[in-house]
Amino acid sequence: MRKIVFDIETKNFFHDVGSSDPAKLDIALVAIHDSETDSYSSYLESELNKLWPILERADMLIGFTSEHFDMPLLNKYYPGDLTKIKHLDILKEIKQSYGRRMKLDQLAEGTLGKHKSGHGSDALKWWRAGEIERIRQYCIDDVRLTKELYDHARANNKLMFKEGGQLKEIKLDTAEWEKPSESKLTFSLPF
């Protein structure tokens, strides 16, 4: 099964565009981990045509808060419909199991003993300053954490987070996570 873990950094925030619709934002960069090559890569907005063939051949897309943010924004740029590809949003799974949302950093600390390398506001600041390599590394770092959380959840059926100095557990049923989907894209559009 070819899995693509992905994350997006934007050129602007919701208050910049006067809307809470992610599709109103502009992509600065998309970073991915491709399980087929076990490699990380990233794509600026002007390079998205190189990303589409990879996503089209994926069996599954994996993200964190991706259902309501990353997918609608990415789909704005794609000439087809990426929602036809099986998609798993780790945050959605957590909310369904535990009843509330968590931050990626909370889960990374509790489960992996790691922290994010920055914040979304840092990425926007770096974009505006032309520090593309810093954005690239930050976004890849978030993809790496998301992948490690996914792998941990699949292996252990749980993730951990710290609250009030205590380590707490979120039980997850991952049995269906990698069940093959009936629909997926298996072609590359000519660009």
pLDDT in tens, 63-83: 999 999 999 999 999 999 999
Q: Is the dihedral of CA 149, 152, 157, 160 positive or negative?
A: negative
Residues 3-171: name the CATH superfamily: Ribonuclease H-like superfamily/Ribonuclease H (3.30.420.10)
What is the per-residue pLDDT across 96-152, written as a single tens digit (0 to 9) for each? Answer: 999 999 999 999 999 999 998 888 789 889 999 999 999 999 999 999 999 999 999
Predicted confidence (pLDDT) at residue 19 exceeds the cutoff of 90 = no
Predicted confidence (pLDDT) at residue 15 exceeds the cutoff of 90 = no
Instruction: Give the pTM.
Output: 0.92
Predicted confidence (pLDDT) at residue 24 exceeds the cutoff of 70 = yes
pLDDT band for 191, please (50, 70, 90 cuts): very low
* Average pLDDT estimate for 7-14: 92
Predicted confidence (pLDDT) at residue 188 exceeds the cutoff of 60 = no
d(CA 39, CA 11): 25
Number of H helices, E strands in the chain: 7, 7
Predicted confidence (pLDDT) at residue 161 exceeds the cutoff of 60 = yes
Q: How high does pLDDT run on average in the chain?
A: 92
What is the per-residue pLDDT across 79-99, written as a single tens digit (0 to 9) for each? Answer: 999 999 999 999 999 999 999
| Per-residue H/E/C for 54-98 | HHHCCCEEEECCHHHHHHHHHHHHCCCCHHHCCEEEHHHHHHHHH
Q: Is the dihedral of CA 71, 67, 33, 27 positive or negative?
A: positive
* DSSP 3-state of 101: coil
pLDDT band for 183, please (50, 70, 90 cuts): low
Q: What is the pLDDT of residue 13?
A: 84
* Average pLDDT estimate for 169-183: 89
Q: Of the given ranges (1-15, 32-46, 146-160), which has the lowest mean pLDDT?
A: 1-15
d(CA 11, CA 23): 12
